[in-house]
A and B are shown apart, each in its own frame.
Chain A
Amino acid sequence: MSDTWSVFDIIGPIMVGPSSSHTAGACKLGIMARYIFGKTPKIVHIELHGSFGDVKEGHCTDLAIVGGLLGMLPSNKNICTSDERAKEEGMEYSFQANNLGDDQHPNTVRFTLQADDRTQVITGCSVGGGKAIITEIDKIPVYLTGNYSSLLVCFDNTNFSLNTLLQHIAQKNITIVNTETTIYKNRTLADIEIKEYFYPKTVQEISTLNGVEWARYINHFSHYPQ
């Protein structure tokens, strides 16, 4: 495992019970899916693989995922009633236990999110102790841990390039910590780890650049009070 571990990954997270991987980790996957999708979905279909599917109700995995999709953090006591909140906000959801492949982590979930004629498929897994990783976005393999703030940009590589993107970000005086790209067919997904906060306006600007399909700012999960 090449991940770094903070002592508060071990003595933490602060969370609503009963299970760190099936409740807190599931909730984090919901939030990250929401960040990537960019808004509360109208309809979301959630496929649960392996152990996730087997013990969903006992661990309130369903409530935790729904809570996450609505933007609740794992320590939010309202997770217990997230089903009611979903109704209020008009988010329809459905769950299904499904085998997503033998090479998948036993706690894997696949979201199919829909709103405004837009559909996105996001896969992630809860790897224990409340940690979660997003592994795939629209068939493009990724590795998002939520440990850092990052800017995700998906673009068509026939008429846009990473250089153009980086130049644009540099003009805003934003410090880039790390850049990872994955190419799938004619599309590139750039995961740009940053130190500062990205203003919604900057993200909006980037998403309207010619050749960019979408851009999102993913806030990290901080172990320290803000």
Chain B
Amino acid sequence: MSSFQFYSAKKLLNLIQDSKAMNICDIMLKAEEELTRNNRDRIFENMRYRLSIMKDAISSELSNEKKSKSKMIGGESEKMKEIKNENIFLSEIMRRACEYSLAVMEKNARMGRIVAAPTAGSSGILPGGIIATEECLHLSEDKSVEALFTAGAIGIIIAHNATFSAAEAGCQAEVGASSAMAAAALSSMRGMSPEQCINAAALALKNMLGLACDPIGGLVEVPCVKRNALGISHAMTASDMSLAGIKSVVPFDEVVLAMNNVAKSMGENIRETSRGGLAVSDTAKEIIERIREKRRK
């Protein structure tokens, strides 16, 4: 019996070739149909529902300048929206992606409802990139839903060979994985080939290897919120590089294994314990003291 399950990018590309599928999204849908015995429409609509939650998170959070409980976060997306400078480096699509990523992460920090993609700490990257691209390139909503399946396919390869747990592998497994997924997803939205999509994911993930998870006070706020905006800009750069024909010397599957290997060398202090890195900076100590005092009152 032929199967559409895949555990590597190599297998994914072979499946696309053998089944004459159009793209990564097609194979991902077939694999999900096979795994869950749900029909294609139901699966597609389920993903559309997730996209709608992502859109809600963005629209409800924009212009919300309220600070989070810790006072570390709040109003970032608004600032990114209002930026007016003729010398701005970012293109409109990238600026908007950053604004939206920040909005989702602010929502998350306030215990709002979001879609983990693949985790909550990296939940701003995909919505930011995909929705900004949909708007700026005037694409149909279906294209965004398809992009989420493409992102999911990249995520599944990472899940099978590594992890999304920052406690095991640091932030490379969260923002790193998410930006690789976004690089492929956004590439697919502008019609790049499956090989180019996977190459973009490889370029994005490579540059995130070894990223520490060192949140201040254990909160998903600093550096997580801003790192999502930087993560989506990073994914867009990777996609543009792939579009330009720049190839990752190390193929995607090997980059994922390298991520695992790097994780083994990372100390516990920088794996979501808040015992190292930014979490023990002088500023972090002051903030934690302030939060504790507030709690005692």
Q: Is B one of A's binding partners?
A: yes
Cβ of B88 within 8 Å of any chain A Cβ, yes or no, is no
Cβ of A19 within 8 Å of any chain B Cβ, yes or no, is yes
**Contact of B50 (CB < 8 Å), options: A11, A50, A107, A127:** A11
Inter-chain contact B47/A107, CB cutoff 8 Å? no
Cβ of A149 within 8 Å of any chain B Cβ, yes or no, is no
Cβ of A211 within 8 Å of any chain B Cβ, yes or no, is no
Inter-chain contact B274/A18, CB cutoff 8 Å? no
Cβ of A129 within 8 Å of any chain B Cβ, yes or no, is yes
Cβ of B194 within 8 Å of any chain A Cβ, yes or no, is no
Point out the residues of chain B lying under 8 angstroms from A39, CB to CB.
Answer: none
Docked CA distance A7–B47 (Å): 9
Inter-chain contact B111/A20, CB cutoff 8 Å? no
**Given A10-B151, A11-B148 in contact, is the A17-B46 Cβ separation under 8 Å?**
no
Cβ of A89 within 8 Å of any chain B Cβ, yes or no, is no
Cβ of B155 within 8 Å of any chain A Cβ, yes or no, is yes
Inter-chain contact A128/B120, CB cutoff 8 Å? no
Cβ of B28 within 8 Å of any chain A Cβ, yes or no, is yes
**Contact of B120 (CB < 8 Å), options: A19, A79, A80, A225:** A19
**Given A55-B215, A224-B42 in contact, is the A5-B159 Cβ separation under 8 Å?**
yes
- B137-157 vs A, Cβ < 8 Å mask (1 yes, 0 no): 000000000001101110110
Interface size on B, residues (CB 8 A): 60
**Given A12-B115, A55-B272 in contact, is the A6-B164 Cβ separation under 8 Å?**
no
Inter-chain contact A58/B215, CB cutoff 8 Å? yes
Binds A, one of B216-224, B231-239, B241-249, B251-259: B216-224
Interface of A is mostly: loop
Docked CA distance A18–B166 (Å): 14
How many chain A residues sit at the interface, stated as a range, is 35 or more
Point out the residues of chain B lying under 8 angstroms from A23, CB to CB.
Answer: 120
Inter-chain contact A129/B116, CB cutoff 8 Å? yes
Point out the residues of chain B lying under 8 angstroms from A56, CB to CB.
Answer: 218
Docked CA distance A18–B272 (Å): 13
**Given A6-B35, A55-B272, A106-B272 in contact, is the A21-B220 Cβ separation under 8 Å?**
no
CB distance from B183 to the nearest CB of A (A): 15
- B99-133 vs A, Cβ < 8 Å mask (1 yes, 0 no): 00000000111111111111111010010000000
Nearest CB in chain A to that of B43: its residue: A7
Nearest CB in chain B to that of A23: its residue: B120
Point out the residues of chain B lying under 8 angstroms from A60, CB to CB.
Answer: 111
Docked CA distance A16–B173 (Å): 20
Cβ of A205 within 8 Å of any chain B Cβ, yes or no, is no
**Contact of B116 (CB < 8 Å), options: A13, A54, A57:** A13
Docked CA distance A133–B109 (Å): 25
Nearest CB in chain A to that of B219: its residue: A58
Cβ of A24 within 8 Å of any chain B Cβ, yes or no, is yes
Point out the residues of chain A lying under 8 angstroms from B151, CB to CB.
Answer: 10-11
Can you give 13 A-B contacts (C-beta < 8 A)? A4-B35, A7-B32, A7-B43, A10-B156, A11-B151, A15-B113, A17-B114, A20-B116, A51-B271, A55-B272, A60-B111, A127-B165, A223-B46
Q: What are the 6 tightest A-B residue pairs by CB atom distance, in nearest-first order?
A: A55-B218, A128-B165, A58-B218, A17-B108, A10-B155, A7-B152
